A = this chain, B = another copy of it.
């Protein structure tokens, strides 16, 4: 096989992957080649534009480390992460909708008791979070693993702060016999996704802002149920309709209710005003 032109080369590459190790690898390889070649034939890039693409992907890879995943940001900002999410999570009656994982989840979070303050000493408006985990029929699920993480009131996660700062605003709880969990923290703020790398350059070139509406991340697991990866968004946030990663769903927006100083619903005596978020999560059966 020689002398390929801009049309015959696609068939040549498809024939080359025909002996792939598995039908799935063959299927994915063929689809990647067809769509990628169609893209190139539509764009008709100059050699310089091709070189820019090579360099963009290289810089995106080099930006990644244990605290930064620039290819996830690229997937998020091109709508690919939410598309993959939509393909894999049907939702349905009594099932909480999912959204993007994002790049800030950290394995092995601390496991404080119910009612603990997970703010880790970071300043901000006090926030009480209460919630339940249930089956699609509303039966409480005891012992579900509830991971939570969120930004501070300037929009930064603990892992984005300098070395020496400890774990903060992230924890793992297990739902009690009534499917309940609760904890204290501070209210998160809207924030720009990290935009000092190739993805930030792309957003600027595309005339887009990098902001995400304020939210608290939840990842909830229970045996026999599909893992739920989602956020709860703060009602009224100005970026709900222009989330840089297309992750907002109406069902996931909640009022963070403001309360004056006094006794909070969990019995804690508050000497200043606080907010309260409550969400009832429903997991899908496997």
Contact = CB atoms under 8 A, between A and B. Distances in A.
Contact of A80 (B3, B36, B61, B81): B36
Contact of A250 (B2, B5, B49): B2
A2 B248 contact: yes
Nearest to A42: B31
A270 interface: no
A5 B85 CA distance: 9
A48 to B, nearest CB: 10
A2 B233 CA distance: 12
Contacts of A269: none
Each complex incorporates copies of this chain amounting to 2
Nearest to A60: B61
Interface residues of A, number: 75
B54 A4 contact: no
Contacts of A130: none
Contacts of A22: 205
A3 B83 contact: no
A196 interface: no
Interface stretch (A131-139, A155-163, A238-246, A271-279): A238-246
Contacts of A113: none
B208 A16 contact: yes
Interface in A4-32: 4-6, 9-10, 12-13, 16-22, 25-29, 31-32
Contacts of A109: none
Interface string A50-84: 10001001111110100001011001001111111
A5 B86 contact: yes
Given A29-B206, A33-B78, 18 more contacts: A1-B242, A2-B248, A2-B250, A9-B79, A16-B242, A19-B207, A25-B206, A28-B43, A28-B49, A35-B38, A40-B83, A45-B87, A47-B85, A50-B75, A50-B84, A61-B61, A61-B62, A62-B62
7 contacts: A4-B82, A6-B87, A13-B78, A20-B206, A21-B205, A45-B84, A47-B84
Interface of A: 1-6, 9-10, 12-13, 16-22, 25-29, 31-33, 35-47, 49-50, 54, 57-62, 64, 69, 71-72, 75, 78-88, 204-208, 240-242, 246, 248-250
